[in-house]
Amino acid sequence: MNPKKITVALAGNPNSGKTTIFNALTGARQHVGNYPGVTVEQKEGFRTVKGYEIRFVDLPGTYSLTAHSIEEVVARDFIFREQPDLVVDVIDASNFERNLYLTTQLLELNVPMLLALNMSDVAEKQGFAFDDRKLSAFFASPVVHTVGSKGKGIERLLAGIIKELDHPSEEPKPHISYGKDIKRELDKIEAVVDQEHQLVSKYGKTWLALKLLEQDEDILTKGHTEETLAVARQSAEALEQIYGDRADILVAEKRYGYVSGVYEQTVKRTIERRHDISDCIDKILLNRVLGLPLFLGLMYLVFMLTFSLGEYPMGWIESGFGWLGEVVSSWWPAGSQSPLKSLLVDGIIGGVGGVIIFLPNILFLFLAIALLEDSGYMARAAFLMDRVMKKMGLHGKSFIPMLIGFGCSVPAIMGTRILEDRKARLATIMTIPLMSCGARFPIYALIIPCFFATEWRGFMMWLIYVIGVLLAILCTIVLRKTFLKGDSGLFLLELPPYRMPTLRGLAIHMWERSWLYLKKAGTVILMISIILWALTSYPKPDADRLENLSPEAAQQAELQHSVAGRLGKIMEPVIRPLGFDYRIGTALIGALAAKEVFVSQMAIVFSVGEEQQESQALRDKLKANYTPLQGFCVMLFCLISAPCVATLAITRRETGSWGWALLQFGGLTVLAYALTLAVYQIGLIIQ
């Protein structure tokens, strides 16, 4: 039988020991020529072993695969042209982190790969120890240690190559996550480049899109359509606008993030080595003892500032809506019971306005989150949580979608796609609603100032967020230990370098979320407010039944007569042990549609049928009607209980079954009930 002809390329940084290994593998059977068209030397050697005739090619040594040098273009062109059966990445293990940059680019090429950790003698002396199993998983490639100069490990390397040829790894190559902004631009470019069939079949559309975004000089001249070039240029410019750096630099940073993540998770060093600025900051922020308290402290600072900075503009908007309500009321004679007036003033201005007044707080909250994200800190937060979660048999990768959950559960649940393991993913989906989303924020922002002194407000907000995070982690653990049992497997957390966020980038990211909030207020919340206003206003009791009652009692009687009031009354026996009355009950029903509706419905409940003259701010009414304990219980219940309709719908879609969505709904509601009941009853005793 003729031996099977195979090509194996050796790639690696200059001086990683490629040629030494090449010589050791091929012995005297070498041939030196030039790569086509250029004066870069191409060394080929042959070895026949176990039914394979292997042609080894010593690629030019490069640090990268950009188009900055002829060697880089030659190396990557060779891979595209000749499609080697295997690329052996020769890594100088004593310069591990720097060498990995090339490895991540080989990963982007999606070629079958084997990692040869050469210079392992030097690495050992320098105090490096590698976790081969993890390293192998992070690149979906086998790992072999070699000392090329002493011929050590060469047989192992050859055996590894044969094994890979006999049984190529089936594992899909992991993807480097470029972040949502870069990903969005890549998707745009992929969509247009898709039509260039020849180029796509040669380079693959993912890689092409990436290089076009990087404005790679070589790839730009490959004969793309004008449209593709224009889209790529626009995308590169759009990113530059947001981050103030060229797109290729931004992409490179994400690769460095992957590299740092691999380094942090696969290398143990007994001797200190790294010293750049990111490392120095990380030494403090990722410190085993200080890291977590610093994270919690930072979050506290965020909420404190959100409150204190948001307070004034919030007051202005609140007075603005108050004024608007008065203007609209004045269109009718004093004491008028016109339904249209009530709809406009109580339903729309009161309901929607009740939600919109929190826009300043939302802006500050998302500004702070954008700051933490754009600077690279959020990736560290996942890292910190990973340590905690690992101790409990979980991995921090679940925490990344959870962090998105601070904005909204819907994209967060979609974000769980990064979790390859289905059970881990399901467990995360189920618990994501426990992360306080932007829609729950107005509920907290309404209630906290009613019952808590100024200096405690930031703390209370922080507390409710932390309770959510802890519950999410706890529930995930319970799920993973019970009916979603399974090994967490390996996950890579990326550590992008810190960067100074640009004003423009912050503004864009802050506005993206805030605009969604406003839009939601103007559409969904508006619609639901109108419906709830009607349900809260009708049917009306006979006028003579209200005659002898005080204005307040009349308002209550009217409310209790309405559909919403009656529903609330039906619920009351069930929710009374939690400290809730029928008015809160009606708002809880509304909150199912969207959490913000809790706020607008409370506004409606307390203003329908009220004499306009004595109109007070909603907060004062709440203060007069409920205790701080009740206030806290409302927040707790809203935090934990049934997620909104949109969340349930996305859970159904992502899990593929209503069963999971219903379980999420039921499970969280039962949990909310049990916990709130405990807190309220214990609170009553202590009080």
Which residue lies nearer to ligand GDP by CB, 58 or 214? 58
Residue 365's H or E segment, with its range, is helix 359-374
Tell the residue number behind the tokens 């191409």, with chain if given.
42
Least distance between ligand GDP and beta carbon 159 (Å): 18
Which residue lies nearer to Mg ion by CB, 57 or 445? 57
Which residue lies nearer to ligand GDP by CB, 19 or 278? 19
The piece of 15-23, 616-624, 639-647, 672-680 that touches Mg ion (CB under 5 A) is 15-23
As a three-state string, the secondary structure of 366-413 is HHHHHHHHHCCHHHHHHHHHHHHHHHCCCCHHHHHHHHHCCCCHHHHH
From ligand GDP, Mg ion, none, interface partner of 232 (C-beta below 5 to 8 A by class) = none
**640 neighbors 471 (Cβ within 8 angstroms):** yes
Least distance between Mg ion and beta carbon 260 (Å): 28
**Interface of this chain with Mg ion, residues 19 to 58, rule: CB under 5 A:** 19
* 118: β partners: 92
From ligand GDP, Mg ion, none, interface partner of 353 (C-beta below 5 to 8 A by class) = none
Collapsed DSSP state (helix, strand, coil) of residue 10 = strand
- Measuring CA to CA, how many Å separate 654 from each of 177, 241, 328, 416? 20, 34, 45, 9
Look up residue 251 and give its amino acid: V
Contact pattern for Mg ion over residues 252 through 281, marking x by CB under 5 A: ------------------------------
Which residue lies nearer to Mg ion by CB, 19 or 669? 19
Pick from 286, 579, 341, 308: which is nearest to 454 by CA? 308
Least distance between ligand GDP and beta carbon 438 (Å): 52
Which residue lies nearer to Mg ion by CB, 19 or 69? 19
From Mg ion, ligand GDP, none, interface partner of 147 (C-beta below 5 to 8 A by class) = ligand GDP
**457 neighbors 509 (Cβ within 8 angstroms):** no
Least distance between ligand GDP and beta carbon 33 (Å): 17
Least distance between ligand GDP and beta carbon 143 (Å): 15
Least distance between Mg ion and beta carbon 413 (Å): 50
**Tokens describing residue 288:** 């085993």
Which residue lies nearer to ligand GDP by CB, 148 or 350? 148
From Mg ion, ligand GDP, none, interface partner of 12 (C-beta below 5 to 8 A by class) = ligand GDP
Least distance between ligand GDP and beta carbon 57 (Å): 13
To the nearest 10°, the Cα dihedral for 451, 454, 460, 465?
120
Which residue lies nearer to ligand GDP by CB, 13 or 537? 13
From ligand GDP, Mg ion, none, interface partner of 679 (C-beta below 5 to 8 A by class) = none
Q: Which residues bind ligand GDP (CB under 6 A)?
A: 12, 14-20, 61, 118-119, 121-122, 147-149
**524 neighbors 594 (Cβ within 8 angstroms):** yes
Which residue lies nearer to Mg ion by CB, 20 or 607? 20
Least distance between ligand GDP and beta carbon 191 (Å): 40
Pick from 260, 263, 17, 273: which is nearest to 145 by CA? 17
The DSSP letter of residue 96 is H
Query: Is there binding between residue 560 and Mg ion (CB under 5 A)?
Result: no
**78 neighbors 44 (Cβ within 8 angstroms):** no
Which residue lies nearer to ligand GDP by CB, 41 or 512? 41
The piece of 17-25, 79-87, 218-226, 539-547 that touches Mg ion (CB under 5 A) is 17-25
Which residue lies nearer to ligand GDP by CB, 122 or 238? 122
**405 neighbors 468 (Cβ within 8 angstroms):** no
Least distance between Mg ion and beta carbon 407 (Å): 50
**89 neighbors 115 (Cβ within 8 angstroms):** yes
**Tokens describing residue 103:** 């490895």
Which residue lies nearer to Mg ion by CB, 118 or 476? 118
Which residue lies nearer to Mg ion by CB, 19 or 95? 19
Least distance between Mg ion and beta carbon 397 (Å): 38
Least distance between Mg ion and beta carbon 466 (Å): 55
Q: What are phi and psi of 91, to 5 degrees?
A: -110, 130
Collapsed DSSP state (helix, strand, coil) of residue 52 = strand
From ligand GDP, Mg ion, none, interface partner of 42 (C-beta below 5 to 8 A by class) = none
Least distance between Mg ion and beta carbon 117 (Å): 17
**Tokens describing residue 527:** 């619609």
Look up residue 209 and give its amino acid: A
Q: How many residues does the chain have?
A: 687
Taking each helix axis as running N to C, give the angle between helix 582-591 and helix 563-575, from 0 to 180 degrees, rounded to the nearest 10. Answer: 100
Spatial CB neighbours of 621, under 8 Å, sequence gap ≥ 6: 606
**Tokens describing residue 366:** 């998302």
Least distance between ligand GDP and beta carbon 208 (Å): 29
Burial profile 633-672: b = 16 or more Cβ within 10 angstroms, e = fewer:
bbbbbbbbbbbbebbbebbbebbeeeebbeebbebbbeeb
From Mg ion, ligand GDP, none, interface partner of 119 (C-beta below 5 to 8 A by class) = ligand GDP
Spatial CB neighbours of 664, under 8 Å, sequence gap ≥ 6: 429, 430, 433, 643, 647, 648, 651
Which residue lies nearer to ligand GDP by CB, 61 or 325? 61
Closest-CB residue for Mg ion?
19
Pick from 545, 645, 664, 535: which is nearest to 601 by CA? 535
Which residue lies nearer to ligand GDP by CB, 12 or 396? 12
**Tokens describing residue 400:** 């990344």
Least distance between ligand GDP and beta carbon 262 (Å): 21
From ligand GDP, Mg ion, none, interface partner of 17 (C-beta below 5 to 8 A by class) = ligand GDP
As a three-state string, the secondary structure of 176-195 is CCCCHHHHHHHHHHHHHHCC
Please give the residue ranges that form the binding site for Mg ion (CB under 5 A).
Answer: 19
